[in-house]
Chain A
Amino acid sequence: MQLTGAEIVLRCLQEEGVEFVYGYPGGAVLNIYDEFFKQDKVKHVLVRHEQGAVHAADGYSRSSTKTGVCLVTSGPGVTNAVTGIATAYMDSIPLVILSGQVPTHAIGQDAFQECDAVGITRPCVKHNFLVKDVKDLAVTIKKAFYLAASGRPGPVLVDIPKDVTQAKAEFAYPKTVSMRSYNPVTKGHSGQIKKAVQILLEAKRPMIYAGGGVILNNAAAQLTRLVRSLGYPCTTTLMGLGGFPATDPLYTGMPGMHGTFETNMAMQHCDVLIAVGARFDDRVIGNPAHFFRADRKIIHIDIDPSSISKRVKVDVPIVGYVADVLDEMQKLVDGSPHRPDAGALKAWWAEIAEWRGKKCLEYDRSSSLIKPQFVIEKLYEVTGGDAFICSDVGQHQMWAAQYYKFDRPRRWINSGGLGTMGFGLPAAMGVQMVNPGATVACVTGEGSIQMCIQELSTCKQYKLPIKIVNLNNRYLGMVRQWQEFFYGNRHAESYIDALPDFVKLAEAYGHVGVKIEKPGDVEGALREAFKLKDRLVFMDFITDQTENVFPMVPGGKGLTEMILAEEL
């Protein structure tokens, strides 16, 4: 049967089992919206800004393993979406973004709401397509879903001119699709895996460093099993939080710029480092020249060959899906007559215990002001450690990462690579929709929340009972912290003046707002808020303005050159 392009789009989404499409209508996509109107299998979620649409689809994907889908119109619809697309790209999140385009005959004519969507998004997508013929539409959408979720995942954009949505073609949705130019290596080389296990078992001072790849590839169970069977210390990066249980004694905390003292010391002083789905990011290892040690062997498991030996030379590279590689390693460890060197391991743990003795995450608990760390600790207690925590970007993000102990994967939702302020609230919408009934909190600051505050309206429309934890210190805190440390305490444009009354603002959007100013009120306010199962509650915590995130490795320094709270 002949279908129009718009009908084909909807049929493709149905075939892919898409539940939600986050989007915003406009001229170029009106035919597609008309088809949404005529069916009820795929639900459309109307956001208030296209950036919110992409973040919502992103949060949906991060908390569910499914591919997120958005639909935006041509021109400004696409340009507004770019921040969201780049956010997903940096964190390897599978998304399919459908964008409207002016009719094919108008392309290149500077038509109304025309922009070169494929050109603008090219550097921040895994791949993108412009569909010029309706006959190619279904197979292109199939390819987009396949590319987004396979290999190293990422966002894929499909740009669809308006006349293509009107034109008709025979519809057949391919079951599978293959591309001769796209064959990601997914199975680790068994010789390399053998070598890695041998090195791992011979280690005297081993360290396991796991990243976002463990979450993306659903390898938390495999990682946890391997780490526990070896009894080695394990760290997870900002993107890997929840990949290994934070309450496990083998867990040493996060590494990097705001990592724990013990983790950074262990990363630097270990003799065997195994990186699992992590990429030696500048925020994780600091200066690579300082990080280098001739006597340390590095094993690196990653799905993306270009992540290997990019910043740090690796001794044993293994390209493949981390879950499968870890499974194979487990088999070899279990079957090996060799055991880890118990004596060496004991001495290594003793050294780590000494570093732990620094208690680098201590803070002043007797303050009369609300300490942001205290709010996160109470949030952890009140939610039983089992909430989805969606974060914005800045100091509050680091405190949430440091003080909320994530025991399960896909519970920590944040923009790690791009560091996109405004991510938290719209991401929380996607998380809440795919996990109805779950406890979802958005940890944010008065700077970040205002970057996508309009989505409070979307939350009302779709009855999303998100709990917003606003750590309000009246400063762009991370900027203020850098200015304090590195710019002679000159607070250039980091003080946020003329803040709205967030309680009234929340109420204006039809939500519950509450302001908390005393440490003694923190726990009670959280308990009350989380009791309201069917309402969004905006908690405005007025926190200590002077608090900084510690430990801190200044940019360009080595991992062991940490600034600790006690040293100031």
Chain B
Amino acid sequence: MRHILSILVENEAGALSRISGLFSARGYNIESLTVAPTEDPTMSRMTIVTVGSEDVIEQITKQLNKLVEVVKVVDLTEGNHIERELMLVKVRAAGKDRDEMKRLADIFRGRILDVTDKSYTIELTGTGSKLDAFLQAIEPGVILETVRTGASGIGRGERILRV
């Protein structure tokens, strides 16, 4: 099962490698990992998307909590949550495909950030599956470049992760 773990960590050198090292040393999967400081600059928030059985996720959570620099760990997928990922995709947009690409970007609520006479650079946000759907909707041949941030997540309503 896919799980989204939200982690508050001390914003210290080495914290990221401690966490990624834990995953590799114990053979856990990382599908994506994003990290940046929070409103409190001494703390960073990390979102890790991982896949594993309930037992494995329980171990991952416990092992993360054991790391001295980890302040809090929450499995967002245990409750209602919002998940977003940002993708920048550069596509070939010339001739008759140019209008079609614009329409497709509009349908997916994408924004065109950069234009040349042969290409568009489109910004898309959404769940990972929405971004996947966009990539599937356009012809593979027209994709010049993609970059994705990996998922960020937050609990819905009163679910709050803070110290």
Give A residues with C-beta under 8 Å from B.
118-119, 122-123, 126-127, 130, 147, 179-182, 304-306, 309-310
Residue B63, interface by CB 8 Å:
yes
Judge whether B25 and A306 touch: CB under 8 Å: no
Find the residue from A130, A181, A304, A306 having the highest chain B CB count within 10 A.
A181
Closest to B72 in A: A181
Closest to B58 in A: A309
Binary per-residue interface labels of chain B (54-74) against chain A in the complex, 1 for a CB within 8 Å, 0 otherwise: 010011001101101111000
Closest to A184 in B: B66
Judge whether A122 and B21 touch: CB under 8 Å: yes
Judge whether B21 and A123 touch: CB under 8 Å: yes
| A123 to B14 Cα, complex, angstroms | 12
Judge whether B10 and A310 touch: CB under 8 Å: no
Known: A126-B68, A305-B62; 12 extra A-B contacts, CB below 8 A, are A122-B14, A122-B21, A123-B21, A127-B69, A179-B68, A180-B71, A181-B9, A181-B10, A304-B66, A305-B65, A305-B66, A306-B63
Known contacts A118-B14, A123-B25, A180-B71: A309-B65 contact under CB 8 Å: no
Closest to B63 in A: A306
Minimal beta-carbon separation of A171 from chain B (angstroms): 23
Name the prevailing secondary structure of the B interface residues.
helix
Judge whether A181 and B59 touch: CB under 8 Å: no
Chain A residues with CB under 8 Å of B68's CB are 126-127, 147, 179, 181-182
Judge whether A309 and B55 touch: CB under 8 Å: yes
Chain A residues with CB under 8 Å of B21's CB are 122-123
Residue B17, interface by CB 8 Å:
yes
Closest to B14 in A: A118
| A130 to B15 Cα, complex, angstroms | 12
Closest 4 CB pairs of A and B: A306-B62, A127-B68, A181-B71, A305-B62
Judge whether A310 and B25 touch: CB under 8 Å: no
Residue B147, interface by CB 8 Å:
no
List, sorted by A's number, 28 A–B pairs whose CB atoms are closer than 8 Å.
A118-B14, A119-B17, A122-B14, A122-B17, A122-B18, A122-B21, A123-B21, A127-B68, A127-B69, A147-B68, A179-B68, A180-B71, A180-B163, A181-B9, A181-B68, A181-B69, A181-B70, A181-B71, A182-B68, A304-B66, A305-B65, A305-B66, A306-B62, A306-B63, A306-B66, A309-B55, A309-B58, A310-B59
Binary per-residue interface labels of chain B (14-40) against chain A in the complex, 1 for a CB within 8 Å, 0 otherwise: 100110010001000000000000000
Minimal beta-carbon separation of A144 from chain B (angstroms): 11
Q: B residues 135-158 with Cβ under 8 Å of A? A: none
| A130 to B14 Cα, complex, angstroms | 10
Interface size class of B (residues with CB under 8 A): 20 to 34
Minimal beta-carbon separation of B35 from chain A (angstroms): 15
Minimal beta-carbon separation of A297 from chain B (angstroms): 19
Chain A residues with CB under 8 Å of B163's CB are 180
Chain A residues with CB under 8 Å of B65's CB are 305-306
Chain B residues with CB under 8 Å of A310's CB are 59
Closest to A126 in B: B68
Minimal beta-carbon separation of A464 from chain B (angstroms): 35
Chain B residues with CB under 8 Å of A127's CB are 68-69
Minimal beta-carbon separation of B126 from chain A (angstroms): 33
Closest to A124 in B: B25
Minimal beta-carbon separation of B111 from chain A (angstroms): 38
Closest to B24 in A: A123
| A182 to B65 Cα, complex, angstroms | 9
Minimal beta-carbon separation of B127 from chain A (angstroms): 30
Chain A residues with CB under 8 Å of B62's CB are 305-306
Closest to B10 in A: A181
Binary per-residue interface labels of chain B (92-111) against chain A in the complex, 1 for a CB within 8 Å, 0 otherwise: 00000000000000000000
Chain B residues with CB under 8 Å of A306's CB are 59, 62-63, 65-66
Chain A residues with CB under 8 Å of B9's CB are 181
Chain A residues with CB under 8 Å of B71's CB are 180-181
Chain B residues with CB under 8 Å of A130's CB are 13-14
Chain A residues with CB under 8 Å of B69's CB are 127, 181
Closest to A127 in B: B68
Closest to B71 in A: A181
| A122 to B13 Cα, complex, angstroms | 13
| A147 to B66 Cα, complex, angstroms | 12
| A309 to B57 Cα, complex, angstroms | 12
Closest to B69 in A: A181
Minimal beta-carbon separation of A92 from chain B (angstroms): 12
Chain B residues with CB under 8 Å of A182's CB are 68
| A118 to B21 Cα, complex, angstroms | 13
Chain B residues with CB under 8 Å of A119's CB are 17
| A181 to B59 Cα, complex, angstroms | 19
Chain A residues with CB under 8 Å of B63's CB are 306
Chain B residues with CB under 8 Å of A181's CB are 9-10, 68-71
Closest to A119 in B: B17
Minimal beta-carbon separation of B70 from chain A (angstroms): 6
| A154 to B68 Cα, complex, angstroms | 12
Chain A residues with CB under 8 Å of B25's CB are 123
| A305 to B58 Cα, complex, angstroms | 10
Closest to A181 in B: B71
Closest to B68 in A: A127
| A181 to B18 Cα, complex, angstroms | 14
Chain B residues with CB under 8 Å of A305's CB are 62, 65-66
| A182 to B143 Cα, complex, angstroms | 47
Closest to A313 in B: B55
Minimal beta-carbon separation of B21 from chain A (angstroms): 6
